[in-house]
Amino acid sequence: MQKQPWWRGGVIYQIYPRSFLDTNGDGVGDLPGIIDRLDYVASLGVDAIWISPFFKSPMADFGYDIADYRDVDPLFGTLDDFDRLLAKAHSLGLKVMIDQVLSHTSIEHAWFQESRTSRDNPKADWYVWADAKDDGTPPNNWLSLFGGCAWQWEPRRGQYYLHNFLTSQPDLNFHNPAVREAILDSVKFWLDRGVDGLRLDAINFCFHDKLLRDNPAKPPHERVGRGFSPDNPYAFQRHWYNNTQPENLAFLEQLRALLDRYEEVAALGEISSEDSLATMAEYTSGKRLHLGYSFELLTDDFSAAYIRGTVERLEAQMTEGWPCWAISNHDVERVLSRWGNGDASPQLANLLTAMVCSLRGSVCVYQGEELALTEAEVPYESLQDPYGIAFWPNFKGRDGCRTPMPWNDAANAGFSAGKPWLPVPADHAARSVQQQEVEPASALKGFRTFMHWRRTQPALCWGDIRFLDAAEPVLAFTRSLDGTTVLAAFNLSAKPAALDVSSLDALTPLDGHGLAQGTIDGGSLHLPAHAVMYAIVG
């Protein structure tokens, strides 16, 4: 078996720095806090960390509005702190991926401050500017993902600028070669410091349609999508022209050429398009991105049929690339609340982790999943997310998945000596790392046991995948590599279930994964509530 690059089949632990650990008492997590907890992260058996943005920013979108691509915001620390973090992670065998937000900047970025002053300054064409229509209205019907028109009037230029997200996040004009060069140079700054990978935020939003054509309407029955309020008009359109343009492919190849100058550096693209699976396949083919992930498993749909259908659709299209899967992140309701139907048991949490980590691909695990954390109820007066504030109460935003990590039984669950930027829920404090370290059957211990066991199973990390016909609530497939085939079967429900395995060769159960195990009786596989079966076939 050939040696695999670290990212292929790797498990990437996402750290949301604002909510990980605060070391200076200001209520916001920081880079020294991450350093302090890297030993804990390494103990989980993951391969890498992905750190959400820590760059200089006014924090209108909590770091996804960057004012300086090459510096650390003082809220999080310094460049020296980042260098120490990188060195500590590498000493523990952890790779480090950083978030790169390339499609847009903060309104406070020096580039935009210059661009907005006139139509003939050196940065005049660095952002997407357009004249008003004759009646003064915006140039087309494009909408912002955060609600409302995607165009904002700038009186200094007498033009509108494009913002696919907040009005304070103007879109860069990637049709301008100077912009692409500047962005790649900023990426190089971090590669030269030694980062091992990039998580590319909204990477299919870099280019816009030069002709500024209107997006067509979407029928009411198709107006669905992750994180949308029922009354968010963004879902009313087919977003054919404000993102996912063909010119982006050449830019991805430019980016890949830069990355290939460094040893084993990987790019993971976040993709949200009208057909995200097709875009994932396209963006990871040839010399483009190493990995792609989308939001198909970040929805409310929890069934074996949906998971199987999603993976099989991607497998049919992704003939060259490598997928990455996630069932939680900083933008969506935590998976135990979305898929648990009130069940927040360690057994279900560990089952869901095992399931997503057994699919073909790499995996992003969001901080707190190992503790079986649920979505926090954040009262309106404590909300921070502008998205949630704008759409309250129909959509409560993203604060509920961003509350601080609970570490111990101290004040604020050991997250901060000051008032946390978001409240720590009492039920989260009861599930702290300290508490779960001493509980024999805790979610944390189950997570850690499974992750270390998975590393001993090459077929689960890198093998091909083939689904078996199984009735709800059973999801079953095989992973095959170098002549070894492993059966993976999951009971997604809290009631016993069975699977006919008479068509398979002899099954030899695999132990040591720490999950509730099914049993084989003749040609039937019996799975108790939230149980799994891993077995060698043949």
Catalytic residues: 201, 270
Q: Residue 500's beta-bridge partner residues?
A: 524
Cα 129 to chain centroid distance, Å, stands at 30
Pair 350, 443: CB distance under 8 Å: yes
Long-range contacts of 377-386 (CB under 8 A, 24+ apart): 377/425, 378/403, 378/422, 378/423, 382/422, 382/423, 384/62, 384/421, 384/422, 385/62, 386/60, 386/61, 386/146, 386/166
CA neighbor of 400 nearest in space, from 311, 336, 494: 336
For the purposes of burial, counting CB atoms within 10 Å of the CB of 202, is it exposed (0-12), middle (13-18) or buried (19 or more)?
A: buried
CA 504, 509, 512, 513 dihedral sign is positive
Measured distance CA(533)–CA(169) in Å, rounded: 47
Instruction: Write out the two tokens for 101.
Output: 């937000």
- Six-digit token pair at 31? 């880079």
Where do we find the tokens 């109820």? 377
Closest Cα partner for 514 from 529, 526, 527, 531? 531
Region class of 147: left (phi > 0), else alpha (psi between -120 and 50), else beta: left
Token pair 């750190």: residue: 51
